[in-house]
C-alpha cells in the first residue's frame, strides 16, 4: 500500500509503500520509499507515522528523516538529494541498448530437455546468420549511444559457426578504432567444440566464455543429453582448457533447475565449489519456446523453487563463512538494488522494461527482437514481438509498434498490482514473460510467476538483512562488493 500526506504537523510524509512480511508478527512491516530506502517497523510505529505522532528527536524519527520517509517544512529540504538518487537508480534510461546478442546459428549437438529453441541438425543449412545480416547487425550495434557494449554470441551452438563469430569480432574491433567504445565479447557455448584456433582468437580479443553446468555428472547428463552421453565430462574438459589458456575467470557457468534439480541444492553447489567457480546462478525454468513441450516432466510450482532457493541460500551462507567464496548471482543483483542507489542493470529487473531499451537480439534469420525471450516465443508460433529487420536503422526498430506496446506495459510503478507494492523499487515489469505465460504483457499479478518469484526472493533477502547475525551480514556484503568474507568490515548501519 502507499501513503501520501496532504496535511501535516511538525513533519510531512513523503511517498512511501508498506507491506507485511508474512511472518504473522506485528513487528514485521517493511516500508520503502521511491528512492529505494527501506525500514522495518511494527504496527504501532506505522500508525504513529501515519497519524503524525512520531516523537521529534527519537531514534525512529531520525531514521525516517535520514531515509526520506518524512521531511520538515522550511527546515529540511530533501528533494534535490532524492532527485539525484532517483536519477542514479534510473540512469540506464539515458543510454541505448548495451547488450547485443548475435544468434549465429541454430545448429547444436545437444538435445536438452528444457531447451527454449528448436535445434537444427549439425549439417543443416539455412540456419546460420548470413554475412549480409551480420554486417547490418554490427551497424545497428554502433547506432546505440551506450558507452559500454556487450557482444554476446548465442545459438544453437555458436562455435559451430565460428567463422561468422570471427568475422563479427573483427568488424567490431575495426569499427571501434574510431568509435572508442568499451566492448566486451562473450560466447555462450557448451565448450564441446573448442579448438586451439578458437582459444587463440579468444586470447587475442579478450573473449569471455559462458557455459551451462547443471550440477554433478548424473544431473547434468540427464538435463543436457548428447548422443555420446558424456556432456558433463566434455563441459568440464572445456572449462579446464579455457582456464589453462585464458585464465581462471575467463569462463563462467549457469545452472538451469529442472524438477529433479530441486532435490539436491547442496550437490549442485558442491559441484561449483569443486570446479572453483566464484558465482552460481540458480535459475528456474523459463516458460518459453521449445521448453513448453517438456514442461509436464520438468516444471514445478514456483513455491517449490522458492523452498529450494531458501535451502540453497542457507547452504551458501554457511560455506562462505567457512572461507569458500561463492556468491549467488541473482541474490547479488537484488542486494545491489536494495543497498545501493544504483540499478543492478539486469534487464529483467528494470522499470521501464529493459527489453529493447537495454538489449537487442539479431536472430539467424535477419529479424531483430527486443530480448532473447521474445525470440524464443517463435517456437510457440508467436512472431508478434518482432521489432523488424536487421536492415532497418536502430531508431526505426526502437520506434516500432512492438516497442511502443512493451514500453506502455513495462513501467512497474504504473502497473496494477505493482504500483502499491513495497518491493517495486527493486523489481521490474518484464512484459514479455507475462505475455508468454498469460497472453497479456501487463498480466494479472495475482497469478504472475514473475511476481511470485521476485517477491519471494526479495523477502528472503530482506529477512537476512534484518535477522542475520554479523557473519551472515558479512557474507552478503562480500557478495555485494565482490570481496572475500575475511576482507569485509561491517558498517554501523543495519536496515
Question: Could you tell me what percent of the chain has a pLDDT over 90?
Answer: 71
The C-alpha atoms of residue 119 and residue 108 are separated, in whole angstroms, by 6
Please choose, from the candidates 237, 243, 252, the residue with its C-alpha nearest in 3D space to the C-alpha of residue 191. Answer: 237
pLDDT at 489 over 80: no
Please report, for residues 134, 148, 181, 270, the alpha-carbon distance to residue 144 in angstroms, rounded to integers and kept in the order given: 16, 10, 11, 41
Domain boundaries, the chain: 2-89, 95-397
Q: 3-state DSSP call for residue 371?
A: coil
pLDDT at 6: 44
Ranking 229-243, 353-367, 433-447 by mean pLDDT, the lowest is 433-447
Burial level of 114, CB count in 10 A (0-12/13-18/19+)?
buried
pLDDT at 484: 80
Region 186-214: what's the mean pLDDT?
A: 97
pLDDT at 259 over 70: yes
Q: 3-state DSSP call for residue 149?
A: strand
- Class of the CATH-defined domain 95-397: alpha beta
Region 436-455: what's the mean pLDDT?
A: 89
pLDDT at 39 over 70: yes
pLDDT at 338 over 50: yes
Cell representation of residue 460 = 528472503
pLDDT at 95: 87
The C-alpha atoms of residue 358 and residue 55 are separated, in whole angstroms, by 45
Between 118 and 318, where is the model more confident? 318
pLDDT at 26 over 80: no
The C-alpha atoms of residue 416 and residue 264 are separated, in whole angstroms, by 37
In eight-state DSSP terms, residue 356 is: T
**DSSP of 163-199:** HHHHHHHHHHHHHHHHH--EEEEEEE--STT--HHHH
Region 337-354: what's the mean pLDDT?
A: 88
**Tens digit of pLDDT for each residue in 92-140?**
888 899 999 999 998 887 566 655 455 555 555 568 999 999 999 999 9
pLDDT at 154 over 60: yes
Residues 6+ apart with CB under 8 A from 359: 97, 98, 99, 100, 101, 347, 370, 371, 372
Burial level of 335, CB count in 10 A (0-12/13-18/19+)?
buried
The C-alpha atoms of residue 352 and residue 371 are separated, in whole angstroms, by 14
pLDDT at 379: 61
Amino acid at each position: 500500500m502507499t501513503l501520501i500526506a496532504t496535511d501535516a504537523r511538525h513533519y510531512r510524509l513523503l511517498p512511501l509503500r508498506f507491506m507485511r512480511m508474512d511472518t504473522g508478527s506485528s513487528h514485521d512491516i517493511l516500508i520503502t520509499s521511491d528512492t529505494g530506502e527501506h525500514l522495518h517497523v511494527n504496527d504501532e510505529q506505522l500508525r504513529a507515522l501515519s497519524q503524525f505522532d512520531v516523537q521529534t528527536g527519537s531514534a525512529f524519527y531520525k531514521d525516517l528523516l535520514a531515509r526520506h520517509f518524512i521531511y520538515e517544512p522550511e527546515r529540511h529540504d530533501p528533494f534535490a538529494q532524492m532527485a539525484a538518487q532517483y536519477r542514479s537508480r534510473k540512469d540506464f534510461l539515458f543510454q541505448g541498448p548495451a547488450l547485443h546478442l548475435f544468434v549465429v546459428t541454430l545448429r547444436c549437438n545437444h538435445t536438452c530437455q528444457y531447451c527454449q529453441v528448436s535445434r537444427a541438425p549439425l549439417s543443416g543449412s539455412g540456419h546460420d546468420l548470413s554475412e549480409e545480416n551480420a554486417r547490418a547487425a554490427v551497424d545497428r550495434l554502433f547506432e546505440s549511444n551506450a558507452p559500454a557494449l556487450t557482444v554476446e554470441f548465442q545459438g544453437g551452438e555458436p562455435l559451430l559457426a565460428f567463422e561468422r563469430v570471427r568475422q563479427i569480432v573483427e568488424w567490431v574491433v575495426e569499427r571501434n578504432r574510431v568509435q572508442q567504445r568499451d566492448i566486451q565479447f562473450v560466447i555462450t557455448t557448451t565448450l564441446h567444440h573448442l579448438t586451439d584456433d578458437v582459444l587463440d582468437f579468444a586470447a587475442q580479443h579478450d573473449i569471455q566464455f559462458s557455459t551451462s553446468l547443471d550440477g554433478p555428472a548424473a544431473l547434468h547428463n540427464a538435463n543436457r543429453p548428447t548422443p555420446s552421453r558424456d556432456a558433463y565430462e566434455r563441459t568440464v574438459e572445456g572449462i579446464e582448457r579455457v582456464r589453462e589458456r585464458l585464465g581462471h575467470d575467463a569462463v563462467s557457468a549457469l545452472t538451469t533447475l529442472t524438477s529433479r534439480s530441486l532435490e539436491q541444492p547442496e550437490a549442485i553447489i558442491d559441484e561449483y565449489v569443486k570446479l572453483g567457480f566464484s558465482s552460481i546462478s540458480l535459475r528456474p525454468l523459463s516458460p518459453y519456446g521449445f521448453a513448453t513441450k517438456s514442461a509436464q516432466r520438468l516444471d514445478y510450482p514456483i513455491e517449490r523453487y522458492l523452498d529450494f532457493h531458501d535451502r540453497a541460500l542457507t547452504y551458501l551462507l554457511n560455506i562462505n563463512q567457512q572461507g569458500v567464496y561463492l556468491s549467488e548471482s541473482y541474490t547479488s543483483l537484488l542486494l545491489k538494488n536494495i543497498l545501493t542507489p544504483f540499478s543492478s542493470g539486469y534487464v529483467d529487473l528494470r522499470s521501464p522494461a529493459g527489453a529493447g531499451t537495454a538489449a537487442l537480439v539479431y536472430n539467424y534469420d535477419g529479424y531483430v527482437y527486443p530480448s532473447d525471450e521474445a525470440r524464443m516465443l517463435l517456437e510457440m508460433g508467436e512472431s508478434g514481438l518482432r521489432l523488424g529487420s536487421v536492415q532497418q536503422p536502430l531508431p526505426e526498430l526502437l520506434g516500432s509498434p512492438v516497442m511502443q506496446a512493451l514500453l506502455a506495459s513495462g513501467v512497474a510503478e504504473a502497473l496494477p498490482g505493482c504500483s502499491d507494492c513495497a518491493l517495486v523499487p527493486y523489481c521490474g515489469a518484464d512484459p514479455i514473460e507475462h505475455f508468454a505465460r498469460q497472453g497479456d504483457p501487463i498480466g494479472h499479478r495475482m497469478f504472475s510467476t514473475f511476481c511470485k518469484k521476485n517477491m519471494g526472493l526479495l523477502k528472503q533477502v530482506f529477512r537476512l538483512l534484518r535477522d542475520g547475525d554479523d557473519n551472515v551480514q558479512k557474507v552478503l556484503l562480500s557478495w555485494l562488493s565482490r570481496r572475500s568474507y575475511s576482507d569485509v568490515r561491517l558498517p554501523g548501519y543495519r536496515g
